Amino acid sequence: KGDRIGIIGTTGSGKSTAVDLLMGLISPTIGRILVDGEPLVKQNILSWQKHIAHVSQDVFILDSSFIENIAFGIALTDIDMQRVELSARMANLDGVIENIDGGYHAMVGERGARLSGGQRQRIGIARALYANTDILVLDESTSALDLETESKILSSIHDIVKDITLIVITHRFTVIK
């Protein structure tokens, strides 16, 4: 708990496959995955997956507001606005949101049409942080960001969320560093 794990390698080297195994999305053909010494099997996969927030390179965006995209799947009446704002701040998205007419209530457009690729990725990161899980997996989820923004996001997560296990998959050594 609380570890920072970096997985780096070339395209096709098995980075995402390794994490898919860890998350229980695919089963090993040889050996087994242990979680706290217990094998990850069909009977406990769902309870294990509830501990994980996964952000891929390609983030699904609702044709809705920033609020609903960050608090994805939560009823409007149950959304914790302070948590939305904290998640946006950690994802370095708050400045973008505050400079758009309507702020957090602004519509992002179908599949995030009004957003850049980096902004869509930051929504995915904010969404994962809002979920408040024990494990955060960033699978090339900062690839559309410039190095400065990427560094700010990772530093923010590192500084603010000390007890979360962070797994970062990347091609870029600078991200791991």
pLDDT, one tens digit per residue, over 103-149 is 999 998 777 777 887 788 889 989 999 998 989 898 875 665 666 66
Q: Give the per-residue pLDDT at 172.
A: 65
| Continuous segment of H or E residues that includes residue 8 | strand 4-8
Which of helix, strand or coil describes residue 6?
A: strand
**Global pTM value:** 0.82
14-65 pLDDT per residue, tens: 888 888 999 999 999 999 999 889 999 989 999 999 999 988 877 888 889 9
The CA-atom distances, in angstroms, between 59 and each of 138, 144, 160 are 11, 11, 23
The residue type of 22 is: L
* Sheet hosting strand 165-170, strand order edge to edge: 4-8, 165-170, 135-139, 52-55
Q: Give the per-residue pLDDT at 92.
A: 85
How buried is 18 (Cβ within 10 angstroms: 0-12 exposed, 13-18 middle, 19+ buried)?
A: middle
Residue 174, number of CB atoms within 10 A of its CB: 9
Between residues 121 and 72, which one has the greater pLDDT?
A: 72
Question: Would you place residue 158 in the very low, low, confident or very high pLDDT band (cuts 50, 70, 90)?
Answer: low
Which of helix, strand or coil describes residue 70?
A: helix
